[in-house]
Amino acid sequence: MGDRYRPFQLRPALIITSALALIYFANCFTHLRLTNDTLRYFILTESLEGIRTADTATQKEFLPLGYVYFLLLLAKLNILGSFGICFFQLLFLAGSLWFVKKIFPSANTIWLIIFTSLNWSTLRFTITPLSEMQFLFFSTGALFFYLRYDNTGKLKYLPGLLIFCAAAIYTRTAGIILIIALAPAILVQKRKEIQTWLRSHTGYAILTGAFIIAAVTYFLMQPKFIAYLGYFFGPLISDPSGFFLRNIRLHLVDWAELFINIPVSKTRFLLSLPAARIIYMIAGIIFLVICLRKLFGSSLAIPLYVRIYIIAYILLIFNWPFFEARFWFPVLPLLAAVLSVKKNNTRPVFYSPAFLFRCYYIMAGVFVLAYYSYLSFDKRALAERHDAGRWRAEYELHFYGSSIRNKEINSKALHILNTYD
């Protein structure tokens, strides 16, 4: 009887997933969306490709090169443009959701898709040339390959684990959290096998240890990593109390943006910015407590290494001295899975008294999809509203050959638009 009615149970999920996939695919036809980091990535790509001579600023650039090589690969394939970037980032998103579902087989699939796909940050980072979606793919992929290795004990999954870990770290330095999460899990869960191997392969063990120490030392001595350490520890050393008070307060705000599903900067038509931040900070505390309770709860089947990864990532971002919701995005699908995982054969967590919140989240998400789609297919609206209108003059010159704005034109941004849009 159960198999007989299963197609009818899956049909709503299939319809919703297909509709969301079509909307996301349609937005792949958007014009190239500029941001400061997008500009930096394209400049680095052109420098590596030999199109642009690296200037002083480019030579001092400390962005990891993983995403730059993705853009360079698209350039070699002659598909480096807005559609090519968005399409492959959409594939990154689909792959990430597949990895997360495999990590959380008891998670409610439709709510995992809804919570992730209707979030304002997901569509934004799918159609904007930034490294978030690539990092999400490689980080969730690394967690997936470790799960396969842990469940089966087969060494064939270790190359995938190493490749995805390395690619994640090379895409975003925050990928080092994967090592922090997986190394203790391996030592705890495989300690007997490791002890046996060390006793029987002493020479290999010494060589392996020396290689690990050399690799870590080389990584720590890289100028880019030193720059990131300066960002991380500089404010902490100079003003510890102010650093923690400011960081915790402002990161609670951008953390809450994921769950309220509206950036705090977009609420000014309703509230003053200080009032909005207070509301978001309170909401951030509430949602942080909810997520931590789920992570530490013994009744949910959450792998240990996933708990360590999410907690370590949260601690890292709370210590990071820059404030954007984009820094939280790489754990969004994992949090969606944690919140939708089934508990003791009862209904999923989302089928709870929080019905009004779910309705609000869906309505906000539908509005977000409509708004981004509007910008994707209206050049004038994109020029005026994307990134708070920062690139309006460049977009107007690109679209119409003239601009009504009296501002200095960013020649690099205009070149990127004229070349790749």
CB 282 within 8 A of CB 194: no
Q: What pLDDT was estimated at residue 233?
A: 64
Q: What pLDDT was estimated at residue 2?
A: 47
Q: Domain locations in the chain?
A: 64-377
Neighbours of 160 (CB within 10 A): 16
Q: For residues 300 and 312, what is the distance between their CA atoms, to the nearest angstrom?
A: 19
pLDDT of 379 strictly over 80:
yes
Q: For residues 280 and 283, what is the distance between their CA atoms, to the nearest angstrom?
A: 5
Question: What are the backbone dihedrals phi and psi of residue 363, each rounded to the nearest 5 degrees, phi first?
Answer: -65, -45
Per-residue confidence at 408, pLDDT binned at 50, 70, 90?
Answer: confident
Per-residue confidence at 216, pLDDT binned at 50, 70, 90?
Answer: low
CB 175 within 8 A of CB 165: yes
**Residue among 342, 304, 311, 312 at smallest CA distance from 150:** 304
Q: What pLDDT was estimated at residue 129?
A: 94
Question: Could you read off the pLDDT of 244-296 as tens digits, one per residue?
Answer: 778 888 889 999 999 999 888 888 777 887 888 899 999 999 999 988 888 88
**Selected residue with higher pLDDT from 197 and 113:** 113
Q: For residues 113 and 333, what is the distance between their CA atoms, to the nearest angstrom?
A: 8
**Selected residue with higher pLDDT from 213 and 3:** 213
Residue 341 pairs in a beta bridge with: 107
Name the range with the highest mean pLDDT among 32-36, 202-206, 208-212, 264-268.
32-36
Per-residue confidence at 186, pLDDT binned at 50, 70, 90?
Answer: confident
pLDDT of 134 strictly over 90:
yes
**Selected residue with higher pLDDT from 354 and 391:** 391
Per-residue confidence at 343, pLDDT binned at 50, 70, 90?
Answer: low
Token digits of residue 94: 């689909």
Residue range 116-124: average pLDDT? 94
Q: For residues 23 and 210, what is the distance between their CA atoms, to the nearest angstrom?
A: 51
- Which of the residue ranges 115-129, 226-240, 278-292, 332-346 would you say has the lowest mean pLDDT? 226-240
Residues contacting residue 127 through CB under 8 Å, at least 6 positions apart = 27, 28, 30, 33, 86, 89, 372, 376
Q: What pLDDT was estimated at residue 298?
A: 62
User: What 3-state class would DSSP assign to 77?
Assistant: coil
Return mean pLDDT, the chain.
Answer: 83
pLDDT of 397 strictly over 60:
yes
Question: Could you read off the pLDDT of 25-52 as tens digits, one per residue?
Answer: 999 999 999 999 999 999 889 888 877 7
Token digits of residue 167: 């690619």
CB 309 within 8 A of CB 177: yes
CB 34 within 8 A of CB 413: yes
Q: What is the DSSP letter of 107?
A: B
Q: For residues 119 and 108, what is the distance between their CA atoms, to the nearest angstrom?
A: 17
pLDDT of 140 strictly over 70:
yes
Q: For residues 96 and 165, what is the distance between their CA atoms, to the nearest angstrom?
A: 14
**Selected residue with higher pLDDT from 355 and 317:** 317
Per-residue confidence at 228, pLDDT binned at 50, 70, 90?
Answer: low
Q: What pLDDT was estimated at residue 246?
A: 80
**Selected residue with higher pLDDT from 340 and 281:** 281
Q: How far, in Å, are 196, 269, 410 from residue 55 at the CA level?
A: 54, 42, 16
CB 251 within 8 A of CB 260: no
Residue 107 pairs in a beta bridge with: 341
Q: Residue 306, CB half-sphere, CA atoms under 13 Å: how many?
A: 30
Question: Exposed, middle or buried by CB within 10 Å (0-12, 13-18, 19+), for 49?
Answer: middle
Token digits of residue 229: 């350490």
pLDDT of 82 strictly over 80:
yes
Neighbours of 74 (CB within 10 A): 18
Q: For residues 146 and 135, what is the distance between their CA atoms, to the nearest angstrom?
A: 17
Q: What pLDDT was estimated at residue 5?
A: 45
Residues contacting residue 415 through CB under 8 Å, at least 6 positions apart = none
Residue range 339-346: average pLDDT? 66
Per-residue confidence at 132, pLDDT binned at 50, 70, 90?
Answer: very high
Q: What is the pTM of this model?
A: 0.87
Per-residue confidence at 117, pLDDT binned at 50, 70, 90?
Answer: very high
Residues contacting residue 405 through CB under 8 Å, at least 6 positions apart = 392, 393, 396
Token digits of residue 206: 């010494």
pLDDT of 1 strictly over 50:
no
Q: What pLDDT was estimated at residue 199?
A: 67
Per-residue confidence at 79, pLDDT binned at 50, 70, 90?
Answer: very high
The alpha carbon of 313 is separated from its chain's Cα centroid by a whole number of angstroms, namely 11
